[in-house]
Amino acid sequence: MSGYDTSDLEVLSGLEPVRRRPAMFTDTQNPNHLAREVIDNAVDEALAGHARHLTVELCADNRIAITDDGRGMPVAIHDDYGISGVELILTRLHAGGKFSSANYRYAGGLHGVGVSVVNALAQNLTVDVWRDEAHYRMDFADGEKQGELRMIETVRRRQTGTRITFVPDARYFDDPTFAIAPLKALLRAKAVLCPDLTVRFVSEATEDDITWHFAGGISGYLTEALEHTETVLDHVVSDHFESDTLELDFAVNWLDADAASLGDSIAESYVNLIPTPAGGTHVNGLRTGLTEAVREFCAFQDLLPRGIQLAADDVWSGATYVLSLKMSDPQFAGQTKERLASRAVSQVVASTVKDAFSLWLNRHVDAGRILVEQCIQRARVRARKAKKVKRKKATSGPALPGKLTDCVTDDPARSELFIVEGDSAGGSAKQARDRDTQAVMPLRGKILNAWELDAAETLKSREIHDVSVALGMDPGNPRLDDLRYHKICILADADSDGLHIATLLCALFVRHFRPLVEAGHVFVAMPPLFRIDAGRDVHYALDDSEREALEARLERDKPGRKVTVTRFKGLGEMSALQLRETTMAPDTRRLVQLTLEPDSDAAQASTDMLDKLLAKKRARDRRAWLESNGARAEIET
């Protein structure tokens, strides 16, 4: 253990973690995400009813100024920290007023790191605040204050707001200049989603001076965007739903075949006015709700021909939509907030959309029939393609493994195989699965470490042989023509033993079924380790850190509420309903795709690490690595 002791340990404080690892906190391709963090805070003021105007000014020297007429940042000295609210917000990570719903019912800035990240990665930053009949200013450079907060002048009592002006530091970005087109698209979307907000964009470089204000909301926006595009329905279908915990607005139409082929589709989703380009559980809910409504309409009207079943893709294909969700405390997958991860939302959105769209279809039967005919046509095309690549049955090759519970569909593109740890978990998975598209094959214990074996030798293992037969592909075979499932999901317990099994399976696929990995067919399912019951609300946590964050949030929202935490000993301990909701249902599960680094050096480094951890001949290297990294291990008790 020479060369590594406590003197080597570092604790990063202040904004140093951001400067050391900027990609953890923002998109380092260009500084647009920094501007978005400030814009989101301004829009949060508008959502709370305190701001009606937002102005973004981009100067020729790449300086950007973002101004709102909200309440203004707090300027008084904080009782606990002894510094002004402005300095606290801009210099401390996880400092903000949005961790509870007292000031903001819905907010996009949730983590208390957004504007402090902007300060950390800015060459210089100036904040102006108007509140309490005064104009205040504070300056920063490289994240450090250049003086105390000072009053500039007195102003009218009703003059309130905040302006943040900064220049991004070129050292942290591939391209330090702002991308104007995406920035304008973002600002227009904010105006669309917040009808009471007037948004202005001024750019010296492009001589733009544009003002957006959309009183018609997302329905008018989508109608205008599709004005010169051929659509299946004559009018956009839209609806608004509001409850104590969320607001949902959606507008949807379908492009005809020619327009869809030209790529004219609009697919925009937002959570608290923040764009979610990677979708998430709210988009999954929209897809499910539309599909269920169309299926129900087909059943009522007896429209489906014999032998035709509508899949979600048959309905979703060609859909063009705008979806806006406002909710308290959304859970995003990462600081950049590109995908919503709140599981409970999916079911609420699906139910709401299904009810609204079912009502519309039954009020517009002729239009509904036209839409259904398009869906049926896509189902027929899919069925014809499936016949050409029909999944091999037991009669056309080796007998399928006895433990494999196959799915109904013959279409490999729609078929999923869950390779499950143990018979007990396999039983729960079989009950939780979608019989039409999901197959389940349980394994017995830890699979053989096949890292150093030849392809032929691996088949001597019964478990690997069964996996090979189920896939329709031999180890080392580069061809995917007979692949029976286009999504292979490794499903193991969330504890250390399960992670070990998942690692051995990942190594098997990387070494002996590499074409599967290269084609993006292999995934690792992420089952929860904990269930958290808070009154009638049920939450799930992937690991200890997620559990601790969830418990802290529940305590913050309702102090003193009884919270019960249950640790799952394994997948077999979960009910079929829990396993379906958390791990197998496409709308709410978490899957991590097994990928190979595109860079050859990075790919080689990954292969070397697997070799170091799994090769018998490298026991000495493995021991040295464990001695150097052993302090990072968390011991389970």
pLDDT attached to residue 505: 92
SS3 state at 202: strand
pLDDT at residue 535 above 90?
no
Which residue in the list 249, 493, 581, 587 is annotated as catalytic? 493
pLDDT digits (tens, 9 = 90+) for 441-450: 998 878 888 8
Q: For residue 316, with 0-12 CB atoms within 10 Å meaning exposed, 13-18 middle and 19 or more buried, which class applies? A: buried
Which residue in the list 421, 463, 466, 587 is annotated as catalytic? 421
pLDDT at residue 566 above 60?
yes
For residues 21-45, give the mean pLDDT: 87
Higher pLDDT, 70 or 386: 70
Is 204 a residue of the active site?
Answer: no
For residues 480 and 226, give the distance between their C-alpha atoms in angstroms, rounded to a whole number: 40
Enumerate domains of the chain plus CATH numbers. 16-212 (3.30.565.10), 217-387 (3.30.230.10), 394-527+593-631 (3.40.50.670)
Higher pLDDT, 302 or 553: 302
Counting residues of the chain whose pLDDT is more than 70, the rounded percentage is 91
Mention every residue, 6+ apart, whose C-beta is less than 8 A from residue 551.
532, 563, 565
On whether the pTM is more than 0.85, the answer is: no
pLDDT attached to residue 1: 45
Is 493 a residue of the active site?
Answer: yes
Most confident of 121-130, 324-333, 402-411, 579-588: 121-130
For residues 603-612, give the mean pLDDT: 79
pLDDT attached to residue 637: 47
**Helix 496-512 to helix 600-614 angle, to the nearest 10 degrees?**
120
pLDDT digits (tens, 9 = 90+) for 578-596: 899 889 988 888 888 898 8
For residues 504-508, give the mean pLDDT: 91
**pLDDT confidence band for 72 (50 / 70 / 90):** very high
Q: For residue 218, with 0-12 CB atoms within 10 Å meaning exposed, 13-18 middle and 19 or more buried, which class applies? A: buried
**pLDDT confidence band for 569 (50 / 70 / 90):** confident
For residues 578 and 595, give the distance between their C-alpha atoms in angstroms, rounded to a whole number: 28
For residues 171-194, give the mean pLDDT: 90
pLDDT at residue 106 above 80?
no
Is 611 a residue of the active site?
Answer: no
For residues 263 and 318, give the distance between their C-alpha atoms in angstroms, rounded to a whole number: 9
E-strand ranges in 16-155 read 53-58, 64-68, 122-131, 134-141, 144-145, 150-154
pLDDT attached to residue 398: 57
pLDDT at residue 359 above 70?
yes
- Asked if 588 and 526 count as a contact pair (C-beta separation under 8 A), the reply is no
For residues 171-187, give the mean pLDDT: 91
For residues 48-71, give the mean pLDDT: 93
Sign of CA dihedral 275, 277, 283, 286: positive
For residues 430 and 580, give the distance between their C-alpha atoms in angstroms, rounded to a whole number: 10
pLDDT at residue 501 above 70?
yes
If you average pLDDT over every residue of the chain, what do you get?
Answer: 85
pLDDT at residue 322 above 50?
yes
pLDDT attached to residue 547: 84
**Helix 365-388 to helix 281-301 angle, to the nearest 10 degrees?**
100
pLDDT attached to residue 209: 95
pLDDT at residue 394 above 50?
no
Which residue in the list 497, 546, 573, 611 is annotated as catalytic? 497
pLDDT attached to residue 602: 67
Higher pLDDT, 284 or 613: 284
Is 40 a residue of the active site?
Answer: no
For residues 149-170, give the mean pLDDT: 94
pLDDT attached to residue 178: 94
Write down how long the chain is: 637
- Asked if 483 and 412 count as a contact pair (C-beta separation under 8 A), the reply is yes
pLDDT attached to residue 259: 59
**pLDDT confidence band for 277 (50 / 70 / 90):** confident
pLDDT at residue 626 above 70?
yes
Which residue in the list 495, 551, 611, 621 is annotated as catalytic? 495
**Burial call 92-122: b when 16+ CB within 10 Å, e when fewer:** bbebbbbbeeeebbbbbbbbbbbbbbbbbbb
- Asked if 562 and 414 count as a contact pair (C-beta separation under 8 A), the reply is no
For residues 78 and 99, give the distance between their C-alpha atoms in angstroms, rounded to a whole number: 17
547, two tokens: 């559990």
